[in-house]
Amino acid sequence: MKDQSLRKLQQEMDSLTFRNQQLAKRVELLQDELALSETRGKKNKKSAESSAQLSQEQKSVFNEDLQKKIEENERLHILFFEADEQHKRLEAELRTRLEVLETDAAQHQAVVDSLTRKYTDTIEKLQNDKAKLEIKSQTLEREAKDCRLRTEECQQQLKNLQAALGSRLEESLCIINEKVPFNDT
C-alpha cells in the first residue's frame, strides 16, 4: 500500500513538473509576445493611438492570463512541495522499519546459530556415545561367544571325564569283586 501511495505521489510529482514546464514556456511566450507588441507599438506611433485601446485590452488579457498561470504555478509548487515532504516522511518511516526488521532478523539469526551449534554438539555427543556403546556391545558379544565356547568345551571335558571315571569305576568294581572275597558272616 505504501509502494502504491509512493508511486501515485511520484506520478503526480512528474505530472506537476511537466505542467510547470508547460506553464513556464507559456509565460515566456506571453512575455515575448508582450515585448514584441510593445516594440511594435514604439515603431508604429501612428497606429499606436488607434491600437492603444486594443493593446491595453491585450495587456489586460495577457496580465490576467499571466496572473492565472502564476497562481497555477504557485499551487503546483505547493503540491510538489507537499508531495516531496510526504515522500520524505514515508521514506524515513520505511528506513526506520527496515532497520527494526534488520535488527530483528539479526537477533533471530543469532538464536538460530546458537541453537544450531547446541544441537550439532548434542548430535555429535550422541553419535560418539552410540559408537562407544556399539563397540562395547560387540566386545560383550565376543566375550559371551567365548564364554559359550569355553562352557561347551568344559561340558565336553566333563562328559569325557564322567565317561572315563565311569569306566574306571566299572574296572575298579570288577577288580574288587574278583579280588576281594565275599564275607557273609
Catalogue the E-assigned strands of 10-105. Answer: none
84 and 4 co-located in one domain: yes
**pTM for this prediction:** 0.42
The total of structural domains in the chain comes to 2
Q: What value does the mean pLDDT take over residues 92-105?
A: 95
Band of pLDDT at residue 63, cut at 50, 70 and 90: confident
Q: What are phi and psi of 95, to 5 degrees?
A: -65, -45
- Report the alpha-carbon distance of residue 44 to residue 52 in Å, rounded: 11
pLDDT at 176 over 70: yes
Could you tell me the residue range of the domain that residue 143 belongs to? Answer: 114-175
**Residue 131: per-residue pLDDT:** 96
Residue that is last in its domain, among 74, 90, 106: 90
Residue 70 covered by a domain: yes
Amino acid at 136: K
